[in-house]
Amino acid sequence: MTGRLSKTGSACKSSATIYGVILTIFLSFFISSFSSASYPLSTSMVVKKNISMMAYNVENLFDAVDDGEDQLEVTFLPLAEKQRRGKKLCASKAGFFRILCQKLDWTDAKYQVKLKKISEVLLDYEGGADIIVFEELENRRVLEDLWVKYLIQHGYRVPIHFESPDSRGIDVGMISRFPLTEDPIAHPVYLGMGNQTGTRDILEATFDIGTGQRLRVAANHWPSQANSTKARMKAANVVKTISKKAAKDGVSFIAAGDFNTILAENPNPIQDNIADNDLDRMSRSIVDLHCFLEEKGTPISGTHFYKGHMSWDALDRILVSKDLFRSQKTQVDLETFEVFAPDYLLVRETLRDPRTNQLREYTIPYRYDFFNDQGYSDHLPLVLKLNLSSS
């Protein structure tokens, strides 16, 4: 099956449309399932199911334990411990973040509230996605706490996590209901000369998703917009290397997480470097699914709301290998790709547009308030399903 999805401006539009490509695949798949069986269907009939995944930036999931020299972010400590360390502890921070650092009394009780609220979001999506990619985890401990307290009873296996060299001490992680087929890998992103990193590793894990099929997933949290485009290009090149290795190994591939890349960025680390919408062009072996949110006409077109220009940003993405549009074994289901945005994850706020100085009401993510323990995260989760055949 071949196909090209034309690109208009910063978003993808399908020429024949991608939905037509998927329909053609389905019809050929359906017909082939009948070619070896007469009516009524025998036990050789193709049995399909789906697997689901979610990518979620959980916004500063920190415990209240002082990790000494490893405690790179001091904001999320009990106030007594911060006071013991001295008044200059928060001096490097500015504005709201300095106030948060100086005044927040981050206790275990508050951490437990945050943990529970995150678990509620995860499990609210159909009892929990089969594979979950996390961003903004302090350490392995917080992911294990989430697993032991709320997720293990829902069939999730041991969490996947490596400590990364991020300057704030935040990491990515994964948790899944599927077994690993090989050891996970933490890929460093070198931003400076030599082995200088200072940002999150890209975490790679390969899962046995059943019927002899494998799926390789990369968890991402690229350098923020405070960094140069060059920094995100370096992270993108790591993903490109992982995707090419997956193609060589004959394994379907998904990269998910917070890519911190805006659609207007030029050159664009995603669209101008690692992904395109031409299913026949294998020099770029992945497709950015964000391109298809506009076609669905969803009111929320991104996962993060930036108050600087009062609009949604597509910081969080799911990128998939092109074989997932062709395969009769594992197929991406575009109809299920969406921003997971139940009402409780959103809040209405009256905000002043800095460009026009006009007040207006906006619907935005219900960001977590670390003082009063209300809200969830400044990002919304992305979700996707893959249709899986047993033959």
Q: Express each pLDDT in 224-257 by its tens digit.
A: 999 999 999 999 999 999 999 999 999 999 999 9
Q: Which pLDDT score is estimated for 324?
A: 96
The mean per-residue pLDDT over the stretch 355-374 comes to 95
The confidence band for 2, taking pLDDT boundaries of 50, 70 and 90, is low
Q: Which pLDDT score is estimated for 346?
A: 97
Q: What are phi and psi of 261, to 5 degrees?
A: -115, 125
Domain borders along the chain are 7-64+107-389
Q: Which pLDDT score is estimated for 277?
A: 86
Query: Mean pLDDT across the chain, nearest whole number?
Result: 87
- pLDDT tens profile 28-86: 443 333 333 333 322 333 334 899 999 999 999 999 999 887 888 999 999 999 999 88
Q: Provide the CATH topology of domain 7-64+107-389.
A: Deoxyribonuclease I; Chain A (3.60.10)
Overall size of the chain counted in residues: 391
Q: Which of 59-73, 126-140, 287-301, 312-326 has the lowest mean pLDDT?
A: 287-301
Q: Which pLDDT score is estimated for 196?
A: 61
Q: Does residue 345 have a pLDDT over 90?
A: yes
Q: Which of 164-173, 183-192, 275-284, 339-348 has the lowest mean pLDDT?
A: 275-284
The mean per-residue pLDDT over the stretch 138-167 comes to 96
The mean per-residue pLDDT over the stretch 94-103 comes to 95
Q: Does residue 8 have a pLDDT over 80?
A: no
Q: Does residue 194 have a pLDDT over 60?
A: no
The mean per-residue pLDDT over the stretch 213-230 comes to 96
